[in-house]
Structure 1
Amino acid sequence: MRGARVPSGVVVVTDRRQAAAPLPEVVAAAVAGGARWVLLREKDLPTPARAALAAHLREVLAPVAGQLLVAGPDPLGGDRVHLAAADPTPRTLAAAGLVGRSCHSPAELARLTTEDYITLSPVFASASKPGYGPALGTAELARLVPLAGRPVLALGGVETPDQAAACRRAGASGVAVMGAVMRAADPAATVATLRTAFAQAAFEQEVTV
């Protein structure tokens, strides 16, 4: 683990199939609401189309110094990837760039090597992936966070301010949110509300320490 700047707070995960408007518009609204990290999925797109979308989203993020993570081993012109549990780490990013990985169990945590951060999922039942799970719950999230040895994003079913706050209290450095933002009539307000709840929970933890 290289100690690079890692995603935290509210990380927006894309899904154009759920998006209430064209994906770049949804991401732009999320950025207006305070999002500074976006994880591009859209793995079914042909590589040229996905690379063009990545370039567009980087332009959306650039004015606020936001960062784009790309799901899978191909960074699509960048240097930040988020790998599936079984993906190999790209050699070009092994010593530089930013590498995250999806984890779901203690066994997967035990296989981590140089990853900068991870996601743990699903924390809650997910409307975006019905039947995906079983959900870890916040008690199990709190048990697994110390085992990760690096910052953890809570992923899966995070839709409400109370859920975001509960993930922070369980030790997560951030929450990765897809459906709640993609489907929102007002993505900016949704992101802002989740960010406020997460930050308030973090503040309360600091005060009580």
Structure 2
Amino acid sequence: MGRPLAEVVARAVAGGVSVVQLREKHAGTREFVELGRALLALLAPSGVPLIINDRIDVALAIGAQGAHLGQGDMPVAEARRLLGPDALLGLSVETLDQLREGEALPPGMVDYYGLSPIFLTSTKTDAGPGWGLVGLAQARAEVDAGTQRPLVAIGGIGPGNAASVLRCGAQGLAVVSAICSAPDPETASRELAETLRRERGRGSV
């Protein structure tokens, strides 16, 4: 992308991004902490929360507003104990069985599910085969009959398919390339935020 991360985040937030997740698969712990602190300072005036992917230790070290867990990360109950009741805690689910396991967790453990991936994407090469729109709708029906936790759609989402993803049951969109690789991250973010507002107005979200 050729642009500093802080610049992309600032422009994305100006365009309407409401949550930022920091995902660092290759950085060392010290670098991760420094980057997280820099983003926290950047986001503080806007009130946009920072979610740390995978690393509960980093989230605690910098005082992030929450964390997001994959299936191979720390168990949800342990993460919740460490983070406390007020932190945001998300859980990635790649199959209906994993979703049902999440639904069996006690209230207050998980704040939302990240359905991953909806469509295949180069930024999540370790994910499953993809939910697709039919799988997303099925997941929505499962959760509506249970905890009614929000679903955040992850993977291969952009301006061309965001509306259909929202209409099939997602309440939020998690994107990387659609913003970070866009010529203008602020414009790209604004377009996605407007799609989300429009679909909420129609009652599909």
TM-score > 0.5 by shorter chain = yes
Other structure's SS at 1:181 match: helix
Describe the SS at the equivalent of 1:86.
coil
Contact 1:20 1:184 in 2 (8 A): no
Which residue is 2:90 aligned to?
Answer: 100
Rounded Cα–Cα distance in structure 1 between residues aligned with 2:115 and 2:2: 26
RMSD: 1.8
* Structure-2 separation of matches of 1:38 and 1:20: 19
Give the 5 Å matches for 1:36-55.
36-55=18-37
Residue in structure 2 matched with residue 155 of structure 1 by the alignment:
154
Counterpart residue number, 2:172? 174
Q: Cα offset for 1:129?
A: 4.0
The AA in structure 2 aligned to 1:143 is Q
Mark the CA change 1:140 to 1:81 in structure 2 (over 3 Å): closer, same or farther.
Answer: same
Secondary structure of the 1:119 match is: strand
How much has 1:175 moved relative to structure 2? 0.4
Q: Secondary structure at the match of 1:57?
A: helix
Is the alpha carbon distance of 1:64 and 1:127 closer, same or farther for their aligned partners in structure 2, counting shifts above 3 Å? same
Amino acid at match of 2:67: V
Partner letter of residue 175 of structure 1? L
Q: Distance in 2 between matches of 1:34 and 1:175?
A: 12
More helix by share: 2
Asked if the contact 2:117/2:124 (under 8 Å) is kept, the reply is no
| Matched letter for residue 151 of structure 1 | P
Shift of 1:173: 1.1
Report the counterpart of residue 143 of structure 1 in structure 2: 138
CA–CA separation in structure 1 for the residues paired with 2:126 and 2:98? 21
Please list every run of 5 or more consecutive structure 2 residues that lacks an aligned counterpart in the other structure. Answer: none
2-structure distance, mates of 1:144, 1:35: 25
For residues 84-123 of structure 1, what are the structure 2 equivalents within 5 Å?
Answer: 84-87=70-73, 88-89=75-76, 90=79, 91-93=81-83, 95-112=85-102, 113=105, 114-123=109-118
Q: TM-score, normalised by structure 2?
A: 0.84
Letter of the 2:62 partner, please give it: G
- The counterpart of 1:66, out of the listed 48, 60, 68, is 48
2:40 corresponds to 1:80: no
Unpaired segments ≥5 residues, structure 1: 1-18
Shift in CA distance, 158/92, structure 1 to aligned 2, threshold 3 Å: same
Which consecutive aligned stretches of 4+ in structure 1 deviate over 3 angstroms post-superposition? 129-133
**Aligned-pair identity (%):** 35
TM-score, normalised to structure 1, is 0.82
Q: How many residues align?
A: 187
Aligned match for 1:196, one of 194, 197, 201: 194
2:176 alignment partner AA? M
Change (3 A) 1:133 1:85: closer
